[in-house]
Amino acid sequence: MKQLLQYTTMAMLIIGITTISACTKEIQIDIPESSRQVVVEGTIENNMPPIVILTKSASFFSNIDLNNLSTYFIHGAQVKVTADDGQQTQLQELCLQDLNLPADQQAIILSTLGFSGVDSTQVPGICVYTVPDIVTYFLSGTCSFMGKERTAYALDIISPGIQTPEDSVHVTSTTYIPTAIGLDSLAVRDHPNPAYRDSMAALYAYVTVPDTFGNFLRYKTKRNNEPYYSPLGGSVYDDRLFVGLTLGLPLERGQAPHSDFDFNTDSYFWRGDTVTVKWSNIDSKTYDFYFTLENDGGDSPFSSPVKIKTNINNGIGVWAGFATKYYTIVVPNQ
């Protein structure tokens, strides 16, 4: 459904703007000073330990590159996660270069954090806060503190100050991992365009939506050994159109951000690929964050700027709980 609406909007914009003819030029603007904030990118998933990335917001014309990326990470914060059943853990700051992980595992972690194609030895300062025995998790699949369904988790951070390190910032948040409802099945269908039928196919997700409101979803897809990517058209859904229904909807393929949009390939998967779908139920606050994040169209004649909703107190970003199920399917050759 979102794809239809996204395509619709895109079609109107394409015809409306490019046909009429617009030209653009770069302009210089004076940006007023704004205070920098603590940015939280925290996730806790069922059967996975919490991972929290702390960064600072950047002034608008900052150029972030590999040489200064590490300066945007917040080091030395006290980060604690407490479950509503009383279990608690103090997260430790771990920097990738200190973990001595194999390159492929480093790459997985980096891609999970959103950085692809980066050699961690070139970026000394990419650090995350997670459980002390994270390596145990990678080796055995378990560790001292893992997310559970139907559990709320509080996040408590004492961060060094942004403007001056001596002034600490106290940041808090809560999230909830709901029940992992999952989908019923995946199915492959032919590409509607015969010209692409040999090389690509559509993937359908068959779902049964609970008959009570309040269920929210986020999905990503992974192609072979690539990272998980969100669909360009948006990764989150609410249930208001589909409550109580059982239906099959076409999945949009996740892609690296800023990929070019192509009607013929975007919602299809290459034949021969092994596709993994990460299907996560989320709470309403997590949905609000990703929904506003993905739908900020900026201030133009066709849209208004969207202030991204956050569930972080005294900061921005998200503390997100995911109830995830994974589904794998091989897209058969023709």
Partner 1 sequence: MLKLATLPLRYLCIVCLLLAATQGYAQATHNKFTLSGYVKDASAGENLLAASVYVVELSKGATTNEYGFYSLTMPADTYHIKITYVGLAPQEKVIVLDKDIRLNIEMGTSVIDKEEVVITGEKKGQNVESTDMGKQEMQIEQAKAIPALLGEIDVMKALQLLPGIQGAGEGNSGFYVRGGGPDQNLVLLDDAVVYNTGHLFGFFSVFNSDAVKNTTVYKGGMPAEYGGRISSVVDVQMKEGNMKKWSVSGGLGLISSRLTVEGPIKKDKCSIIVSGRRTYIDLILKPILPHIGDGGFAGNSYYFYDINAKINYRISDKDRIYASGYFGRDVFHFQDAGGNFSFDFPWGNTTATLRWNHLFSDKLFLNTMVIYNDFGFDAKTGFQNVKFNLSSKVREATAKMDFDFAPAIGHMVKFGWQYNFHIFTPYQGSGTDGATEFKTTNQEKKYAHETSVYVQDDFDVTKWLKMNVGLRASLFNFVGPYTKTIFADNGTAIDTVSYKPGENIKTYWGLEPRLSMRFKVDKASSIKLGLTFNQQYIHLVSSSTTTLPVDLWVPSTAAVKPQKGLLAALGYFRNFKDDMIETSIEVYYKHLWNQIEYGESAVGSITADVEDQFTYGKGYSYGAEFFVKKAKGKWTGWIGYTLAWTWRVFPGINNGEKFLAKFDRRNDLSIVNMYDINKHWKVAATFVFASGQRTTLPVSFFLNEGQPHFVYGKRNWYQMAPYHRLDFSVTYVVIPKKKRKLDFYSDINFSVYNAYNRMNPYFVYIDPKSDVGTADANNSNSGFHFKAKQASLFPILPSITWNFKF
User: Scanning residues 261 to 290, which ones bind partner 1 (CB under 8 A)?
Assistant: 263-264, 267, 283-285, 287-288
* Among residues 95, 113, 135, 188, the one that binds partner 1 under rule CB under 8 A: 113
In contact, 297 and 20? CB cutoff 8 Å: no
* Among residues 76, 124, 161, 192, the one that binds partner 1 under rule CB under 8 A: 192
- Report the alpha-carbon angle 329-203-46, nearest 5: 55
Residue type (1 letter), 42:
G
Minimum CB–partner distance for residue 126 and partner 1 (Å): 10
Minimum CB–partner distance for residue 132 and partner 1 (Å): 24
Nearer to partner 1, 64 or 139 (CB): 64
Tokens standing for 310?
């956050």
Q: Is there binding between residue 34 and partner 1 (CB under 8 A)?
A: yes
Taking residues 47 to 76 in sequence order and writing x for each that binds partner 1 by CB under 8 A, - otherwise, the string is --------xxxxxxxxxxxxx-x--x----
Specify the residue for token string 């972080």.
312
Collapsing DSSP to helix, strand or coil, 62 comes out as coil
Minimum CB–partner distance for residue 172 and partner 1 (Å): 17
- Using CA atoms of 235, 216, 113, 71 in order, give the dihedral in degrees to the nearest 10: 100
Q: How many residues in the shown chain lie near partner 1 by CB under 8 A?
A: 106
Cα 43 from Cα 319, distance rounded (Å): 6
* Piece in contact with partner 1 (CB under 8 A), picked from 87-95, 129-137, 143-151, 259-267: 259-267
* Among residues 81, 110, 127, 143, the one that binds partner 1 under rule CB under 8 A: 110
In contact, 241 and 183? CB cutoff 8 Å: no
Minimum CB–partner distance for residue 238 and partner 1 (Å): 6
- Listed as own residue / partner, the contacts of 241-245 with beta carbons closer than 8 Å and 24 or more positions apart are 241/1, 242/1, 242/207, 242/209, 243/209, 243/210, 243/211, 243/212, 243/213, 243/215, 244/209, 244/210, 244/211, 245/208, 245/209
* Piece in contact with partner 1 (CB under 8 A), picked from 3-11, 77-85, 95-103, 139-147: 3-11
Residues 120-149 within binding reach of partner 1 (CB under 8 A): 122
Name residues whose C-beta falls within 8 Å of residue 26's C-beta, 6 or more positions apart in sequence: none
Taking residues 202 to 221 in sequence order and writing x for each that binds partner 1 by CB under 8 A, - otherwise, the string is x---------xxxxx-----
* Among residues 74, 134, 318, 331, the one that binds partner 1 under rule CB under 8 A: 318
